[in-house]
Each structure stands twice: as structure tokens, then as C-alpha cells.
Amino acid sequence: MGTKLTYEFKRKLEDLEKMKGRGTELITLYIPPDKNIADVANQLKSELSQASNIKSKQTRTSVIAGLEAILQRLKYYRKPPEHGMVILSGNIDLGGGRQKQITEIIEPPEPVPLYKYHCDSSFYLGPLREMLKEKKIYGLIVIDRREATVGILKGKRIEVLSYTSSMVPGKHRQGGQSSVRFERLREIAIHEFYKKVADKASEALLPHLKDLVGVLIGGPSPTKEEFYSGEYLHHELQRRVIGLFDVSYTDESGLFELVEKAQDALQELDLIREKRLIGRFLQEVAKDGLAAYGEEEVRQSLELGAVETLLLSEDLRYERVKYRCPVCEAEKVVTVKEGTENPPRCEKDSIEMEEVERTDVVLELSEMAESMGTKVEFISTDSEEGAMLMNAFGGIAAILRFKPNNR
């Protein structure tokens, strides 16, 4: 899932989290990609017949309406989409005695992990929230001279991909062998073992190269240092090594120990990258160079194709609203905080203008950037620099390719 898709998905979940029903009348249905649609429809028909027993008339009416809406939508599917789908339906409480019936289908960025029918006063979003958690992949290698294990860390899940045992003899030579010859044979065996482990690492990790952001190596000293400094790893893996860590075990449990020991490095990696980006932007600001900030200035730079990297705060929540006068049809576009409803008055007719369009500012700017071949970076507020982007520069900034003539 790219950063723009992540942002859109996150915003959708934020909107759904705000929706509440008056009773247990909001239906959430998780359908995995391998689920038979006919089986789902049959269960919903069973739920529909049982819904007539709900005591509260309002809840009963809402649940029946929601189930019927879902069954109607399912008629358009012979099978679930590639990743399955989540259907949400029910009467949303708008306040002031008003309600609104909604039915939404979400095709998530990852496979739906379970089949679940859920009815409550809010939508069941836990499995969808899990999909927002970090999915970058880290390669894991734990090695000593007896064995080695290769795995990956994806989110919070550790997966073992290969295990290799060595034929390296112990430090005590067998009778009849000179100490020099024994040490020579032992060094050859160690070298061959390191090569074998590196080959296993290539087989396991290179298929994940697109998402592989770092490789961690664990083990006792001096084994892990020898393995790393000897450059046995494929060059694409070698250049991604972000740290060597002392661990006691080199089997599957060693992978878990390695991740535990490397927590600081893992937490800081994204932040360091963000710090560098914001640091470069601040340098350009300080010398009045290739930098722009604020919505209007960045928007103008995007329109001119002058932006190299667009920097958007993850916490930015603004909308661009177009209003039109119902009399003279004059239009006005303003940027407001999310959810703000304060229509301006027409300067000519002095009557309240009508809203005709509302767009998420982040999505609009990121789409403009993509159309210009501009890189888009979403910056967290976890670092001092990221917080500065949000608080001092309004959460919208850019590193420029060139300085526009109008500035």
C-alpha cells in the first residue's frame, strides 16, 4: 500500500469510527477472498429471519433494512474481490433526531483475514485498523558457527524462511592431525558455511527486495562481524544492513531476540529518513532557496511543475470547498478545517452561497503532484522536525526542482 492509499484508507476508517447508531443496528460483514458468496447470502437470509424477533422496533427495522441492503449488493458479485471485502450498513445517527441509512463496500489493501458478521452500535473496524500498521519488511539473519536462521519481520510478525546447520568442526582437533592443518580445514569449513548462509539469505530475501528496508544481523562475536565484514551477502542485501546485534540464540528464538535487541534501530529508521527530508527543506528555507510552504505557494509551484518532493503532514485535516451563489452563480473556493460548515455570503447579492464541491486537500495536492511526476512524502509528527512541519509550516511544504519566476 502506497502512502496515498494509506492516507485514503486511514481517512475512510476515521470517518467510519465517527459513525454511531442509536442501538445495536450497525452491521459489519467481513468476507475473505476465498468465501463462497452463496454461503454468505444464505447466512444473511437466516439473520434476516431472526431479526424479526428483535424487541426494539427501531433496531429491528434498521437491522432488517441493513441486511436487505447488503443482500442486494451481494447480487452483483459472483465471488469476492481479490482481497475480499468488508460491507458496512445501517442507520447512522446524525443528531437532532435525524438518521441516515448508509451501505458501503470496502475492498481493503490486504486480504480480509476472517469471516465475521457483527451487529453493534458502531462498526467493527479492528481487522481493518490492523492493516494500517507498519508493513515494511526487515531481513533477519542470526548466525554462529553451528547454525544460522534467516527470516523476515513484517509489521509485528516474524516469519522463518530458512535454517542451515554447519559442518564446522569444534575447536579441538582429532588425533593424527597437525594443529596447522586442522585450523586450515576449519577455516575452509567456516568460509563455506558463510557462503551457504549468504546463498540462503539471497533465496529468502531478494524476492522481497522492493519492500525490504533493512537487514539485521545477530549472533555472538566475532561470528556476525566476520560474516558481515567478509561481504558474503548479495550486494543488495549487504548495503541494506542497518546493524549488528549480540544475541544468545541462532535458531527461530534467536530471530525474536534479534528483533527485541534492535527495537531502537527499527524505531529510529523512518524518523531518521524524515529528519533528513525536513532538514534538507529547512536548509533551503534558511537560504531562501528551493523551498515552498503553505497551501497557496505550494499549489502554485505544483501547477508550474516546480516541485521535486511534496511534504505533507500525516495529521493534516483540511478540505477545499467550492461555493456558488444561487442568484448570480458567482463562485468562491476556500480551504477550511475538516467538517467546517460556514458558507460565505455572495459579495454581490449578500445571500448565503451554496456548497457545490468539497475535496480533501491532501488528496488533491498529492494527485496534482503525481500528475507532474513529483514524489510525495507523508511526514509523521513523532519527531521534532515533523512537528515543526505541521506547526510552523501548516503541514504543507515542498522541495523544489527550480525556483519559479513569480517568486
The stretch 188-198 carries a mean pLDDT of: 94
pLDDT of residue 144: 94
Instruction: For residue 247, count CB atoms less than 10 angstroms from its CB and return exposed for 0-12, middle for 13-18, buried for 19 or more.
Output: buried
Query: How many other C-beta atoms are found inside a 10 Å radius of the C-beta of residue 328?
Result: 12
- The C-alpha cell 456548497 sits at 355
pLDDT in tens, 287-303: 988 999 999 999 999 99
Q: Provide the grid cell at 64.
A: 432488517
Q: Domains in the chain, please, with CATH?
A: 3-130 (3.30.960.10), 137-173+182-261 (3.30.420.60), 272-400 (3.30.1330.30)
pLDDT of residue 176: 54
pLDDT-above-90 percentage for the chain: 66
Distances (CA, A) of 65 to 103, 310, 366: 10, 45, 38
Query: How many other C-beta atoms are found inside a 10 Å radius of the C-beta of residue 104?
Result: 14
Of 172 and 264, which is predicted with more confidence? Answer: 264
pLDDT of residue 1: 40
The stretch 17-40 carries a mean pLDDT of: 94
pLDDT in tens, 319-351: 999 999 999 999 999 999 988 888 899 988 889
The stretch 40-59 carries a mean pLDDT of: 90
To the nearest whole number, what is the mean pLDDT of the chain? Answer: 90
pLDDT in tens, 8-18: 888 899 999 99
pLDDT at position 77 over 90: yes
Question: What pTM was estimated for this model as a whole?
Answer: 0.62
pLDDT at position 196 over 90: yes
* SS3 readout for the chain: CCHHHHHHHHHHHHHHHHCCCCCCCEEEEEECCCCCHHHHHHHHHHHHHHHCCCCCHHHHHHHHHHHHHHHHHHCCCCCCCCCCEEEEEEEEEEECCEEEEEEEEECCCCCCCCCEEEEECCCCCHHHHHCCCCCCEEEEEEECCCEEEEEEEECCEEEEEEEEECCCCCCCCCCCCCHHHHHHHHHHHHHHHHHHHHHHHHHHHHHHHHHEEEEEEEECCCHHHHHHHCCCCCHHHHCCEEEEEECCCCCHHHHHHHHHHCHHHHHHHHHHHHHHHHHHHHHHHHCCCCEEECHHHHHHHHHCCCEEEEEEECCCCEEEEEEECCCCCCEEEEEEECCCCCCCECCCCCCECEEEEEEEHHHHHHHHHHHCCCEEEEECCCCHHHHHHHHHHCCEEEEECCCCCCC
The stretch 183-211 carries a mean pLDDT of: 92
Give residue 178's pLDDT band: very low, low, confident or very high (50, 70, 90): confident
The stretch 227-253 carries a mean pLDDT of: 95
List strands edge to edge, sheet with 137-143: 157-165, 147-154, 137-143, 212-219, 241-246
pLDDT of residue 298: 96
